[in-house]
Amino acid sequence: MIKKPFFGLRKPKLKYPVEDTIKLDSINEIPLPLRVTLLSDNNERSDDVDLKVGDKVKTGQLLGLSEKDGDYLISTVTGTISEISQYTGYFGKTCASISINAETEDQWDEEFIKAVKAPASKNCVKFLRRLPGAPSLSSVLSNESSVKTIIINGIDKDLLTVTNQLIVKTGVESLTEGVRYLKQITNTDRIIIIVPPDLTYQAEKTGAEVRVVKPLYPNTLPHIQMKNIMGITVPPGKSFEEMGVCFISAEAVTALARVFNSQEFPIYKRLTVINKDSRTFNVRARIGTPVKDILNTLDIETIHGDRLIMGGPMTGNAIYSDEMPVLPDTDAIMVQDKDQIIQSSDTHCINCGECIRVCPAKIPVNMLIRLLENDMFEEAAEEYDLLSCVECGLCSYVCMARIPILHYIMLGKHELSQLKMLEESSE
Amino acid sequence: MNNQKLFISSHAPYWHNMSSISAKSCHIMLAALPAVIMGIYQYGIPALGVVTFSVSCAMFWELIMNLVTKRPVSIGDGNAAVIGLLFAMLLPATTPWWIVLIGTFLAIIIGKEIYGGIGCNPLNPTLVALAMIMLSWKSYIDFDGALVNYDLAFLMKYPLEALKHFGTSAISEHTAVGLLMGRQSGGIGATFGLGLIIGGLYLILRGYIRWEISLSFLVGVFVTAFLFNISDPVTYAGPVFHLLTGYTLIGAFFLATEDSSSPVNFIPMLLYGAGAGCFTILIRNIGAFADGTVFAILLFNVANPLLDKIKPKAMGKGLEHA
């Protein structure tokens, strides 16, 4: 944990780990788990899709969930479906969960190989959404796409996480290939790669435009990158795609290269595991591997009352069970000792102004929190810029009264979207 | 045996810079100590009595209020102790016990708790209490009367009172160094200028108070006093005298910077500080009171919500129709 510096005149500096903490030769392979679980984005599983417990699936097989919007999962193992259920996640969002008992021998699915055989064709595009790194390419690949620029993130969003940095460092060849394929399948003008200063040399070889960012949080958040690198400020409520920019992680680009080069669906996800003492492990695991298996392989013990986080210390999501699988967009797993957990409090805001000085979006957080505490969400959005929040979490990080400010903000945004949906449906 | 392992779940971020309200209160009290110790050294046991009684009374009132309103006990955050300490620092050493008792009641209950506790008070609680005591029992806060039995090795006339009634000739004995070293009569913890400056700088460097407020307050005092001084040097004292007497320094570093009643944005902080500083001198020079710090800061506490409307535009705001 990075504590308050002795001299407190300036903003806190949250630096990324220095390079020598990244041990290159030590990528820990996680053995094939007995059972993998795949989660969908939403719970739109229609009955017309023929998927039931006991079905045999092959590696790389498409598991359709809904005919209508083409939602699907891709099996990362060969085995038998053992359970189809529902998982409740963040903000009560439910999604379909499919568990597969894995066999040791991988058999590759024919359909995928066939689709990929015709290179750079759009046949395989439908497979790409479930690539490791979860690229949101569907908007780029559609013909009426307004995306002019693709930004490849060679630096991870959160602190202590080095997944994408490591990929830039060690996988320049496949990254270069990936950039080439990306140019072929999309019709964007610019491809930019964003890297920390020490990876400039590697990034220059990829053939993409190189932009260097200071490895300082929150410089690495998409909204801040848009402002600093593209010079575009995203208005509240607009997506990056609407502003003509699409973000994709370096890992997804290398996965793309793998799809076209070796005609094999990338079933492995690279991630950073952050131990209780902030030491990190680089890990390669199959998508769908339960967190428990990864922690067991690394000999990390968890006890009652610890905290498990999918993602890094500033933006991750806490999970309540170590059965939770690795998802295509899980870049880090963090384990926090129960002694390190800071309890939030329900003290009032004391108006010290620390959050105001640290907020990258210049939101009047001291006023916003007063409205949010009193459920005045619409006023909060209109008068005190609730929707400008870029969700960096720095306000909660510096709050002297230990108010869970970001939690209130996320709740406010959620409630506001519910209100909006209610209004639209009543019209 | 229940072998089910449960994980703590909460919202991001999972790190904290470990700052807390109690740590802040501790540092403010630490920063105030040099001035308090000097006061106790000068005025002896009675001063020690006032300080300790005031701190304990303030905490006692807060505890009572917590119990009455059935809220969690909040004296652990140290805010009540800070208010008690600051209140004692403003009083003469011979203040009777019942003034301290009533004063802390006014500060904690009327100044803070009835608005909802820490962070909700629109005015500085310490100053609310002092202003009420000053208006109700003026003779007990009158330094010349209260300290009449003390004969320390310096001029025992309260400098601002002397200036008000006799002009600059009455204060010619005071030197800047003497004032800085506490060679003047006044509140227990308000006279030792050097100690207050050291404490204030410590708080600023550690990030517990904002330099914008302190500095602009002092600049406001300096500039206004300077303008008065050049217009009529016989009636109005120079800026350095005003900076080092009365409650100016304790006001700049400990009172005007109180979190809840001061602004948080950059320009409002400057306006707030400069305005309070300017009004301090206006009240001293042409108002009815010898020292204007108390009312000047209270006045700008009231203006705080209005000043804080001057805020930077949030990212992406107003771009929807661009």
Please report which helix (H) or strand (E) contains residue B89, including its range: helix B79-90
Six-digit token pair at A137?
């390419």
Percent of chain A with pLDDT over 90: 39
B316: nearest CB among A7, A236, A364: A236
Is B290 within 8 Å of B284 (Cβ atoms)? yes
Six-digit token pair at B48? 């020690």
Q: Distance, in angstroms, between B130 CA and closest chain A CA?
A: 22
Q: Please tell me the distance in Å from B60's CA to the nearest CA on chain A.
A: 20
Cα distance between residue A84 and residue B266, in whole Å: 56
Ordered by start, the domain boundaries in chain B are: 21-140, 151-307
Please give the structure tokens belonging to residue B86.
Answer: 């600051």
Q: State the nearest Cα–Cα gap between A16 and chain B, in angstroms.
A: 14
How many residues are there in chain B? 322
Task: Let me know: does A348 contact B118? Beta carbons within 8 Å.
Answer: yes
A130: CB partners within 8 A, 6+ apart: A72, A73, A74, A287, A328
In terms of C-beta distances under 8 Å and separation of at least 24 residues, what long-range contacts does B175-182 make, across chains too? B176/B240, B176/B241, B176/B244, B178/B154, B179/B241, B179/B244, B179/B245, B180/B244, B182/B38, B182/B39, B182/B42
CA-closest candidate to residue A19, choices A311, A244, A406, A280:
A280
The alpha-carbon gap from B261 to the nearest alpha carbon of chain A, in Å, equals 8
Per residue in B35-59, pLDDT (tens digit) is 999 999 999 999 999 999 999 999 9
pLDDT the model gives residue B322: 39
> What pLDDT shows up at residue B239?
94
Residue A110: pLDDT band with limits 50, 70, 90: confident
* Res B321 pLDDT > 50: no
**Chain A CB contacts of B312 below 8 Å:** 362
- The answer to whether B245 and B179 have CB atoms below 8 angstroms apart is yes
CA–CA min distance A264, chain B (Å): 36
Give the whole-angstrom CA distance, residue B250 versus residue B195.
10
Confidence label for A117 from pLDDT (cuts 50, 70 and 90): low
Q: pLDDT at position A400, please?
A: 93
Residue with tokens 């998927």: A51
Chain A residues lying within 8 Å of B13, measured CB to CB: 313-315, 393-394, 396-397, 406
Report CA-CA distances (Å) from A293 to A132, A285, B93.
19, 10, 69
Interchain CB distance below 8 Å, B319 and A235: yes
Q: How far apart are CA B262 and CA B308, in angstroms?
A: 9
Nearest to B17 among A12, A305, A388 (CB): A12
Q: How far is A366 from chain B (nearest CA, A)?
A: 8
Chain B residues lying within 8 Å of A353, measured CB to CB: 210, 259, 263-265
Of A9, A309, A356, the CB nearest to B14: A309
Higher pLDDT, A21 or A224: A224
CB spacing of A308 vs B7 below 8 angstroms: yes
- Contact with chain A for residue B13, Cβ under 8 A: yes
- Locate B105 and state its tokens: 């009641």
Which residue out of A342, A354, A409, A414 would a mutagenesis test of the B interface target, given it has the greatest number of B Cβ atoms within 10 Å? A342
8 A C-beta contact, residue A322 and residue A295 = yes
Rounded average pLDDT over A306-319: 92
**Per-range mean pLDDT, top range of A58-67, A192-201, B22-31:** B22-31
Confidence band of B263 (pLDDT split at 50, 70, 90): very high
Which residue among B5, B208, B314 sits closest to A361, beta carbon to beta carbon? Answer: B314
Distance CA A356, CA A354 (A): 5
- Quick check: A12 pLDDT over 80? no
**pTM higher than 0.90, yes or no?**
yes
Contact check, Cβ <8 Å, A350/B119? yes
Do residues A312 and A157 make contact, with C-beta atoms less than 8 angstroms apart?
Answer: yes
Token pair for residue B47?
Answer: 């001063």
- Reported confidence tier of residue A133, pLDDT bands at 50, 70, 90: confident
Domains and CATH numbers, chain A: 31-108 (2.40.50), 118-266 (3.40.50.11540), 267-340 (3.10.20.90), 354-426 (no CATH)
Instruction: Provide Rg for chain A, Cα atoms.
Output: 22
A114 pLDDT exceeds 80? no
Contact A49, A67 (CB under 8 A): yes
pLDDT above 50: residue B193: yes
> Is residue A118 scored above 70 in pLDDT?
no
Rounded to the nearest 5°, which phi and psi values hold at A424? -65, -40
Q: How many helices (H) and strands (E) does chain B have?
A: 15, 0
pLDDT over threshold 90, residue B300: yes
Residue of B1, B10, B15 to mutate, interface with A, max A Cβ within 10 Å: B15
Optimal mutation site among B205, B209, B264, interface A, most CBs of chain A within 10 A: B264
**Contact map slice: B 285-304 vs A, CB within 8 A:** none
